[in-house]
Structure 1
């Protein structure tokens, strides 16, 4: 039996049951939704964020919603490569494996016109949206390869493929993060050899996110084309439902491609 066939059989039994998934940026609305969905699917979920109080709330909410689920959280400086490597190593040592890293570290800065772009926005977004991807991918590369269903999932924006004048810094940051993640996917492809990749790096592409608090603040807004954080969480979990070769090195569009 080939490794690819074995992987498919494993997925049919439950793609996240017993899996260990790390979530970077777990305290935000998208992170909270991901913790809930992954725990519901049977995964042990290990969240990380820079905001201690919000992370504790997110972890408690996931635990409460799914009694018996193992959901933990810790403060990790993802701008520190060695600290990020230590997080990956601790997670594998404690739980025996790591089957996924979901990257949900976000941020946005923009301007009214292109000439008004503030380079300080790029400096910030490069750290939040690019550097954290570099560090998490480097830190979790080896541990994900040791999994029989390893996945690295980045959430990106359609603007990376069709930048607008006022979003130069944001679009460039997202495009860089996508390119880095697709390079990780190529590494996974090469590691798979003739059998094909057994570990995958995927990019989920949205227009923008919406959640209940945003709707409450703007009750008359339509949020046309936005992806609800619960829908995003469903798509994240769905990355494990397909063989690695079908999602590795791919942009998976949750909004129409530009």
Structure 2
């Protein structure tokens, strides 16, 4: 369990995205040291101009690559010595073909981004948590992972796979004092979603600020009794 009144060390993947920025800001406001990961460094520097690099880390890394994540973890642990919470936001969404016409490329793309990435990120950073017998891992799954929908087969299958990975990891890591959970938003209110769905009503969507606060809760000692849970966020 994370001790109170100590500086926490947080890793956030997908940090330059809309939710990533909200999550990073949430932890910065709490005085944490944060390692920000994204697949393009310029996305990070654009999203966080002037961030104090003596306290925080900005790292370009491919979350689907075990070797890239291992290299990033080496840099993070050299600078931070420990990771108190790993927030895995990086992933992807796309509408796709019906199941009977689904391409292997579309399937692999969604599975790599949304399911395998959780494995690669965990392989890189969870062993250090096991050594300390403390830590939290929070993933971003989806409310839609509960049931298939037309044109979303690969995406929903990958988010469902992510939830099963979270549950398995929770069972494996609970004896080591580590909590693994996810948030499962319906639709997040982001610029990308507003552009993709111009006729929808964002009033019914989940704000990134609320999602970030929920992630903050899951990374806190208050969530120490939660294991393998998917907190559905729905406006």
Q: Would the TM-score normalized by the shorter structure come out above 0.5?
A: yes
Match of 1:55 among 44, 57, 77: 44
Partner residue in 2 for 1:25: 14
Partner residue in 2 for 1:81: 66
Partner residue in 2 for 1:126: 111
Whether the aligned pair in 1 keeps the contact of 2:12 and 2:89 (CA below 8 Å) is: yes
Partner residue in 1 for 2:152: 167
Instruction: Normalising by structure 2, report the TM-score.
Output: 0.88
Pair 1:42–1:82, CA change in 2 (3 A): same
Separation of aligned partners in 2, 1:217 and 1:160: 20
Whether the aligned pair in 1 keeps the contact of 2:96 and 2:154 (CA below 8 Å) is: no
Rg larger in structure: 1
Pair 1:116–1:234, CA change in 2 (3 A): same
Q: Output one character per residue of 1:214-250: Cα deviation in whole Å (capped at 9) or x when no partner.
A: 5589776412542111111111111133445422221
Structure 1 unaligned spans of 5+: 1-6, 192-197
Q: Which moved more, 1:204-213 or 1:113-122?
A: 113-122
TM superposition outliers: structure 1 runs of 4+ over 6 Å: 216-220
Partner residue in 2 for 1:184: 169
Instruction: Normalising by structure 1, report the TM-score.
Output: 0.80
Q: Quote how far apart the aligned CAs of 1:255 are.
A: 2.6
Q: Which moved more, 1:121-130 or 1:216-225?
A: 216-225
Partner residue in 1 for 2:137: 152
Q: Quote how far apart the aligned CAs of 1:157 are.
A: 0.6
Q: Output one character per residue of 1:183-208: Cα deviation in whole Å (capped at 9) or x when no partner.
A: 111111233xxxxxx21111111112
Q: Give the 5 Å matches for 1:69-108.
A: 70-108=55-93
Separation of aligned partners in 2, 1:99 and 1:237: 12
Partner residue in 1 for 2:207: 228
Report the secondary structure of 1:247's partner residue.
Answer: coil
Alignment length (residue pairs) = 235
